[in-house]
Amino acid sequence: MKAKPQVQPPKGKFRKRFKKEKELWFWSGLSIVWWFIFFLIPLYGILYAFFDYVPGRDLTWDRFVGFDNFGAFFEGKDAANIIRNTLVIGGLNISVGFIAPIVLALLFDELRSTKLKRVTQTVSYLPYFVSWVVVASIITTCLGSEGVINEVLVGLGIIDDPILFLSEGEYFWTIITVANIWKNIGWNTILYMSAIAGIDQELYEAGAVDGLGRWGMVRHITIPSILPTIVLLFILGIGNILNIGYEQNLLIGQPTTRAYWDIIDTYVYRYGVQMGRHSFAIAVGLMKSVIGLFLVFLVNRIAKKTMDMSIF
């Protein structure tokens, strides 16, 4: 039997495809270059965590200290309080802050008016594009001793004297959680709305025939259909549970409430930028990233074992 001749790909096929998809290749190339410059190259800075780095001097001239910078964090007097604040605020963000966009997406889906749905979605997205400086100013104006909230409470006779919401630490965790939810809820809803839009409408028609009401359709059709998206985003969110951000805490927090807002990010900022202890700050930041990566693998494994859903 004669061997079948191998089919050669047509000449210039890649060139034609590249010409046809040149915009896609262009933007993909820019993304790769951006990732390489701002993510891959800076990884070299991890080495500074293991040296007693002195700014302006070559790394080879610095003393190798191993894991001393990591141990110095746990030996510090502020370690326990910082870890507590980070876990509490991060836990509130991944629990209340994670559920809120799902609930909002389900509420948007129940709106029958397309125009009303677009308007409410747009309004919910806007706070995401507002800087934390503006948000902190709004919060200060509303919650100050002479702010709108205190004026309303005193006017209604609920309280006799204004409450110092921003100066008392017991209110800070609630304030920062509400601020994070208000700012990010609309943006985080986009993925859930996209997942809901991809649900086969025949499922709802079958549910209506079976006598399911609106709540029954949400419970038995909508939520199970978007569950893979929920699990995926939850796994990724667990990896960022320690990445709270320092801007909102520094802007909203006050010296009297520092025991409640001082977290790992503000700690790294203070020691790395303000105090110039670069090696120590890099070590703490690296430790936070490693813990986040470990949590991603752990939660991904648990989700794969219990729900047969995972990202890898």
Structural domain contains residue 194: yes
Q: How many domains does the chain have?
A: 1
What is the pLDDT at residue 43? 84
User: CB neighbours of 301 closer than 8 A, spacing ≥ 6?
Assistant: 310
CA distance 247 to 218: 37
User: Given this model, what pLDDT does residue 9 score?
Assistant: 53
Confidence of residue 273 (pLDDT cuts 50, 70, 90): confident
Is there a domain that residue 125 lies in? Answer: yes
Q: Identity (one letter) of the amino acid at 275?
A: M
- Tell me, yes or no, whether 265 lies in a domain: yes
With H, G, I as helix, E, B as strand and everything else as coil, classify residue 159: coil
Give residue-wise pLDDT tens across range 217-265.
998 899 999 999 999 999 988 988 888 888 999 999 999 999 999 999 9
Distance between CA atoms of residues 107 and 126, nearest Å: 18
Question: Rounded to an integer, what distance in angstroms lies between the CA atom of residue 149 and that of residue 145?
Answer: 9
pLDDT digit string, tens, across residues 62-105: 788 889 999 999 998 889 999 999 999 999 999 899 999 999 99
Q: Is 293 inside a domain boundary?
A: yes
DSSP for residue 210: T
Residue 286 lies in a domain: yes
Sequence-separated (6 or more) residues with CB below 8 Å from residue 140:
147, 166, 252
Partners of 64 in the β-ladder? 51
- Only one residue has tokens 């700690």, namely 267
The CATH number of the domain holding residue 175 is 1.10.3720.10
Range of the domain at 258: 96-307
Report if residue 244 sits inside a domain: yes
